[in-house]
Amino acid sequence: MEQQFNILKKNGLSITEGRKKILELFLDAEGALAHADIEKHTDAAFDRVTVYRTLQTFVEKGIIHQIPTTDNAILYALCKDRCEEGHHHDEHVHFICDNCNKTICLDDVTVPDVKLPKGFQPLQSAMVVKGICDDCR
């Protein structure tokens, strides 16, 4: 039985073609995907709106997480940690390659704690490192 099926089942989601396909893309992807990537890779088999809604649902369920960027294109990647509905634990560093433009989850590199000024209460941290990835040098 495919992994996609299990993930959807476990999260109480109906099994649909769109969800299976998009999940498959993430499972096969080397790096993170933007909405536009998904549309490309599915050959527009699914409506744009369906893709938006699927991504939204997956984020809510803790199946994928978002990666902040500086270029008006949210990136999404599979959660490999113990993320749950409404509660993510993706405190790993993300690496964006300036050359091949891939975004990679460094699952083993934890976002370090920083000492904040008095009065600031941290709840979630994200760290994005840009540079040259291991494939590109």
Task: Assess 99 for contact with Zn ion (CB under 5 A).
Answer: yes
Q: Name which of a copy of itself, Mn ion, DNA, none residue 133 binds, using a CB cut-off of 5 to 8 Å depending on partner kind.
A: a copy of itself
Task: Assess 13 for contact with a copy of itself (CB under 8 A).
Answer: no
- 93 near 111, Cβ under 8 Å? yes
Q: CA-CA distance, 80 to 47, in Å (whole number)?
A: 27
- 111 near 125, Cβ under 8 Å? yes
Q: Using the minimum distance from each CB to a copy of itself, give the nearer residue, 79 or 93.
A: 93
Q: Which residue, chain included where needed, has tokens 């370090």?
A: 112
Task: Assess 132 for contact with a copy of itself (CB under 8 A).
Answer: yes
Positions in 52-71 near a copy of itself (CB under 8 A): 66-71
Compute how many other C-beta atoms are within 10 angstroms of the C-beta atom of residue 127: 16
Task: Assess 17 for contact with DNA (CB under 7 A).
Answer: yes
